[in-house]
Amino acid sequence: MPDTEVRTDVVTGVPTDRRESRGAKRSPVDALPPASRRYGEIGDRSTKPRWGMAVDIERCVGCWSCAVICKSENDVPLGMWWNRILTRGDDLDRPGEGEHGHLEMEWVPLACQHCDDAPCEKVCPTGATYIDKERLVLVNQDDCIGCRYCMAACPYGVRVFNWGKPKYPVDGGTGMVGARPVGTVEKCTMCVHRIAEDQVPSCVWSCPANARVFGDLDDPDGRLVNLLRSRGATRLLEDKGTRPKVWYLQPRRRRPL
């Protein structure tokens, strides 16, 4: 992409070179060495993709890499997480759960489920939360009035609110998207700015256990759909009828700890 072209931030719509404190800079994806770039390429897709993700519970080791790179990639301020790793069978006073002497513990990486029938989108009074043409649930920060109705409506509790001036561990943040205004709601965008450059979301790219698979749910021969078909895949709170596009691949075998 030529440097003279005005690039706009996919999340905030602000031209990239006007982003505070970071100024004009080359796309980080452009800056990647070809091998890394190839590693993150999305690959096969249908003409009108419907992006989704599979998270393999069997492979997840609960290392929080995806949570940390998500914060870094998206400039998620201190005290907030778009992506976090929940632990089933873990509590302060309960190190595991299970029956007949077989303790079990597993991790549930949780971020926006990008529901096809998203409760948050339905209740937004201004339409700031919308479903884009590739079926991702996104927030247009310009239209968000901060009523937090979407947070009350989200069954997964993955939305976070900008309670005050954002603070970053590094001045100006580390991320690739602009800062969000105080008093607005934000959440996982499935790294829509990376998808625009044919790259998988950061959490997928960074997972050391290869537990995440990103792809087009409408591509019947794609790797994602094949995986969902061959493995028992479930969705969170299936009974709520939200039809998430994030699927969880259940472990095929259980080992006593």
Partner 1 sequence: MTSIAADPAVALRAEGPSTAWRAWVGVLGVALGLGAFCFAYQWANGLGVTGLSNTVTWGMYIISFMFLVGASAGGLIVVAGSELVGSERFASLNRLAVLVSGAAILTATGTILPDLGRPQMAWKMIVHPHWTSPLMWDMVVILVYLSIAAVDLWILTRPTVSGSALRRMAVITLPVAILVHSVTAWIFGLLVARPFWNTALLAPMFITSALVSGTALVVVIAHVVERTTGVRFGDEHTLGDLGKLIVWFIAVDAFLLGTEILTIYASRVPDHLDQLNVILWGRLAPVFWAEVALGVVVPFLILTRPALRARRAWLLTACSLAIVGVFFKRVNILLSSMFEPLVGLAPGIPGGRPGQAFRPDEIYIPTWVEWGILIGMAGFFFTVVTVGVRRIVLDRAAGAQTRARAAFSRYMRPSAQR
Instruction: State the DSSP string of 106-143.
Output: EEEEE-----TT-HHHHH-SSS-EEE-TT--EEE-TTT
- Contact string 88-127 vs partner 1 (x = CB under 8 A): x-xxx---------------x-x--------x--xxxxxx
Supply the minimum distance, in Å, between the C-beta of residue 173 and partner 1: 13
CA 8 vs CA 24, 196, 213: distances in Å = 11, 11, 27
CA 85/CA 62 separation, integer angstroms: 7
With contacts defined by CB under 8 A, name the span among 5-13, 21-29, 143-151, 224-232 that binds partner 1. 143-151
List 151, 192, 209, 233, residue binding partner 1 (CB under 8 A):
151
Q: Of 230, 231, 229, 228, nearest to 246 (Cα)?
A: 228
List 51, 156, 205, 214, residue binding partner 1 (CB under 8 A):
156
The residue type found at 177 is: V
CA 40/CA 199 separation, integer angstroms: 5
List 144, 191, 204, 224, residue binding partner 1 (CB under 8 A):
144
CB 159, CB 120: distance < 8 Å: yes
**Residue 4: which residues within 8 A CB-CB, separation 6 or more?**
none
List 7, 37, 45, 148, residue binding partner 1 (CB under 8 A):
148
CB 131, CB 68: distance < 8 Å: no
List 63, 80, 227, 233, residue binding partner 1 (CB under 8 A):
80
Residue 132 interacting with partner 1 (CB under 8 A): no
Give 37 or 149: the residue with its C-beta nearer to partner 1.
149
Give 23 or 164: the residue with its C-beta nearer to partner 1.
164
Query: Which positions from 215 through 244 interact with partner 1, judged by CB under 8 A?
Result: 236-237, 240-242
Binding interface with partner 1 (CB under 8 A)? 77-81, 84, 86-88, 90-92, 108, 110, 119, 122-128, 143-149, 151-157, 159-165, 167, 181-185, 236-237, 240-242
